[in-house]
Amino acid sequence: MAIAVCSGSFDPVTYGHLDIISRGAKVFDKVIVAVLINSKKNSLFSVEERVEMLRQATADMSNVEIDSFDGLLIDYMNKRGAKVIIRGLRAVSDFEYEMQVASINKKLDDQIETFFMMTNNQYSYLSSSIVKEVARYKASVADLVPPAIEEALKRKLASE
């Protein structure tokens, strides 16, 4: 069984993330969406909240599993029996960074492959940071995130 991991902070999950996840789920037998636990990053949502939002957003994808991890992605992948990393690319600037990460991952474990997917053009500008910024100014993010995520953003930002 071909198991792939799509990792990230997903703070919050956007339609761009979901595009990559759903397309990856059509290519691989199983896709594990792994939320990185990064205590150095000042996240809006807790890891538990992000995991739950991803579970809701991917509920209709039967071969997608949501999890979280801390430490090296390569160690997590070996623990889960995964051999492929899925990464979305929005622009050339993403490629330079992602190539560096893929190269070090390959050095750490030469059995791991990185599968790059170009983001759908309609999401090429989209990032979690942009979504949070737009939501902070109470502008609509309805075209950027699923309805449940939009509501979670409103609740979270109202309590800031």
127 labelled as ligand-binding? yes
93 labelled as ligand-binding? no
151 labelled as ligand-binding? no
Catalytic residue among 26, 40, 41, 107: 41
Cα-based angle 99, 91, 105 (whole degrees, multiple of 5): 15
Active site residue 90: yes
68 labelled as ligand-binding? no
76 labelled as ligand-binding? no
88 labelled as ligand-binding? yes
Residues shown for the chain: 160
C-alpha 139/C-alpha 10 separation (Å) is: 20
Query: What is the crossing angle of helices 47-57 and 147-158, to 10°?
Result: 160
Joined tokens for residue 148: 């449940």
39 labelled as ligand-binding? no
Contact 31, 18 (CB under 8 A): no
10 labelled as ligand-binding? yes
- Strand pairing of 113-118 and 30-36? unpaired
Nearest CA-CA partner of 81 in 53, 115, 109, 116: 109
Catalytic residue among 7, 30, 128, 132: 128
Active site residue 128: yes
Active site residue 41: yes
* Residues 6 or more apart in contact with residue 47 via CB below 8 angstroms: 35, 37, 68
140 labelled as ligand-binding? no
Catalytic residue among 7, 43, 50, 90: 90
Q: Which residue positions form the known binding site for ATP?
A: 9-10, 17, 88-90, 98, 123-129
Q: Which residue positions form the known binding site for substrate?
A: 9, 41, 73, 87
Q: Which residues are catalytic?
A: 17, 41, 90, 128
Q: Which residue positions form the known binding site?
A: 9-10, 17, 41, 73, 87-90, 98, 123-129
